[in-house]
Amino acid sequence: MTIFQLVKIVLDTLYAEAVDAFGKDADTQIKEQMAYLTTSYGKLTSADRKPVDYKNPATRFAYVYKYVASHGDYVAQVLYTLRLELGAPIFDQESLRVTCIGGGPGSDFIGLLKYLAENKKEQVQKLTCYLVDREKAWADTWTEIHASLGTEIQLNANFQPLDVTEPEDWKYQKKFLQADLFTMSYFVSEVMALDKGGVVTAFWQTIFGSAKSGALFLYDDNGHETFNNYFDHQWKTAGLELIVGATNELTWPGSDEQKDDLGDYLNRFGQMPKLKTQLSYRLLRKP
């Protein structure tokens, strides 16, 4: 199953939720939320911006429709780039623990699953994912999706509510810090401007400082130099090692990913899902 095909299954569920909430006005609400997301993401560097509110099922539908398939495929491509750099499989263990920071929308872990499915030399048989996100409603979207994946990997997806701007949320939660791989897909840009008083910086330094030796970190985001410079400062301060990275690299989903798999949704909302972008990524290791 391709990512777009999986996203179609998720969209069907989210669309039903939107209809339950808004009835015949569901499509109008979804269009409005697509516009809301576009406006919000245009203000990511603004210090007075408010975090995006994903509680509304129309908002979550809009996000999954617009972004999740492409972002998931970007993650798979970045992992494949790491494998080429290493000249060997990335993971040598049968049981892999992954923490997806800001991973509620699901693109991180479906990208990882695509990579593992396409690279049979990886040893992973069991995958434990912690989807760490502020919005609890995302738990309904992804934690039971494994039945649709068609993968032989045993998947245990756990949703962990966590707000990076609230230290009490992450000071005493420890299991998600024990990951072999941490992913941050299009999340640094979403919280950078919320770093008032250094609270988000403290979160990143806690993550980097608490991770075990050998843990990997995958960052990918849009090519805005403000976000890249901010994140580069964070990982360099923590003493992580760069394995491979790129800045503002034109990227689009692989040829196996076809937006037409989204069916009649393509003609309902006046917008196409995101495809190509200027992508920046970093793959890091803790010494």
Q: What is the pLDDT of residue 155?
A: 87
Q: What is the pLDDT of residue 148?
A: 66
d(CA 232, CA 237) in angstroms, rounded, equals 8
Cα dihedral across residues 191, 247, 87, 70: positive or negative: positive
List, for residues 81-123, the tens digit of each pLDDT value. Answer: 999 999 999 999 999 999 999 998 999 989 999 999 899 899 9
* Residue corresponding to tokens 């998947």: 155
d(CA 190, CA 199) in angstroms, rounded, equals 14
SS3 string, 98-140, reads EEEECCCCCHHHHHHHHHHHHCCCCCCCEEEEEEEECCHHHHH
List, for residues 176-199, the tens digit of each pLDDT value. Answer: 999 999 999 999 999 999 999 999
Tokens linked to 190: 């979403």
Question: Above pLDDT 70, what percent of the chain?
Answer: 97
Q: What is the mean pLDDT of residues 266-271?
A: 94
Half-sphere exposure (Cβ direction) of 187: Cα atoms closer than 13 Å: 27
pLDDT classification of 247: cutoffs 50, 70, 90: very high
Q: What is the mean pLDDT of residues 221-243?
A: 96
Q: What is the pLDDT of residue 150?
A: 65
pLDDT classification of 140: cutoffs 50, 70, 90: confident
pLDDT classification of 143: cutoffs 50, 70, 90: low
List, for residues 10-61, the tens digit of each pLDDT value. Answer: 999 999 999 999 999 999 999 999 999 999 999 999 988 889 999 999 999 9
Average pLDDT, the chain: 93
DSSP assigned state of 266: G
List, for residues 52-90, the tens digit of each pLDDT value. Answer: 999 999 999 999 999 999 999 999 999 999 999 999 999
Q: Is the pLDDT of residue 173 over 90?
A: no
Q: What is the pLDDT of residue 145?
A: 66
Q: What is the pLDDT of residue 230?
A: 96
Q: Is the pLDDT of residue 147 over 70?
A: no
DSSP assigned state of 214: T
* H-type alpha helices, the chain: 3-22, 26-41, 57-63, 69-86, 107-118, 139-142, 167-170, 188-191, 199-210, 225-237
